[in-house]
Amino acid sequence: MDVATLTIEKVQELLRGRAVTARELAEQHLARIEARNRELGAFLSLCPERALAQAEGIDRKISAGELLPPLAGVPVAIKDVIVTRGVPTTAGSRILENYRPPYDATAVARLEQAGAVILGKTNCDEFAMGSSTENSGYFPCRNPADLERVPGGSSGGSAAAVADGLAVAALGSDTGGSIRQPAGFCGIVGLMGTYGRVSRYGLIAFASSLDHIGPLTRTVRDAAVMLGVIAGRDPNDSTSADVPVPDYAAALERPVRGLKLGVPKEYFGAGLDAEVRAQVEKGIARLGELGCEVREVSLPHTDFAIACYYIIATAEASSNLARYDGVRYALRAPEAETLEAMYHRTRGRGFGAEVKRRIMLGTYALSAGYYEAYYLKAQKVRALLYRDFVEAFQQVDAIVTPTSPTPAFKLGEKTDDPLEMYLADIYTVTGDLAGVPGLSVPCGKTKAGLPVGLQLFTRHFDEARLLQLAHAFEEAGGFAL
């Protein structure tokens, strides 16, 4: 049995057929992590006792002949910005190096209720601020497709873990593309639901009006199963939506013939790598062959998305990260003689360069005399971006774009130029700003063997349509274009 190719469906089949036990599956994945993680850097911490206890509980259910829950025995990894009771949760930052939360995030609790086996916490850019997982406060993560390249970010550890067979599925977070971009770079599926579809309770906040939790998986069906488990209203999160959760897996087989797909011209201009463009255009053609009607649309305010995002996101980060001051929990610099000195030394020592940069940008945008010029104007642009999507969806059922302008870049290639790094998210930040659901699905590879991602957007709370299209693409061989 090759654990590196297992899907949720295959795990369930093996367990029901008594071909393997849940404990054996957990042990095999933990052994693979032990063998591979030093080179890959995908995990920051493991919780083997918790994993094996969960697995043994599933084995007892099987022995008793009980009906298995949807994720029974499935080894899952959790991005280290999502809290787990008693397990280190650092957000990839030294300032939270010794933090062990007293509770589980709602998404984690729902996974365990569905039978998932939690293996450990995955590497990420510090406080989810980055596009390459090079901003981790501990060590960078590498792309399984090419160890000299980044896995994307900020959910790079989760993407690498799934792509390399260290977990069957993983949770990530997406604020400006942090699920979809690493999924595209690593050649797997990454799904961001509508804002409010999945509870953010227990997600360490970066930018609260943009943050999402979502799954990274090997197949679209697995993404549908994972979303079905974690989605739904949560009284602990006032922004979670009280909207019915459909049976996403059941919707996968619906025919896609006749669906209208919009291709936004703004996503195919300067800066798009020629090989990425060629693969995405092949993918769009494949969807056309499936009977979808493809037409050009316009999202006219796309050019302003990066500037808008990096004002709103940094402003919210400035506010959210004010709590890490050395007073209540986490790191405290020991030798300070005054409160002000303790603040300076704690935050100076605990935060990395990118986090400091974003706190300063956000604080500046919110400061007296600049609030109206920057933050307020960015919110107005966000409203225009939202309207762009609403108007486009009056013409089409879904929008299809590249996930990223380039394939995975080399480690260190963009670290000296923050603006160039920020532009890696140029096609993904729009979905977060508009609050629409988005998904990256593999769309072949470049000549060098680097994965290319194709991105789909649909209307708010229409994740079923998103998954339906991606599944049809997968079944038609779109992964291997």
Task: Report how far Cα 266 is from the mean position of its chain's Cα atoms.
Answer: 24
Give ∠ CA 443-445-449 in degrees, rounded to 5. 155
Q: Kindly name the residue from 93, 131, 136, 154 that is annotated as catalytic.
A: 154
Alpha-carbon gap, residue 194 to 383, rounded angstroms: 16
Active site residue 377: no
Active-site residue flag, 79? yes
Residue type, 342: M
> Which of 411, 381, 230, 224 is CA-nearest to residue 305?
381
Pairing of strands 75-79, 117-122: parallel
* Residue 154 annotated in active site: yes
- Catalytic residue, candidates 131, 155, 173, 178: 178
Half-sphere exposure in the Cβ direction for 464 (13 Å, CA): 11
Encoded amino acid at 106, one letter: T
Catalytic residue among 61, 79, 414, 445: 79
Tokens of 144: 């399984």
Side chain identity at 419, as an amino acid letter?
Answer: L
Distance CA 329, CA 345 (A): 15
Active site residues: 79, 154, 178
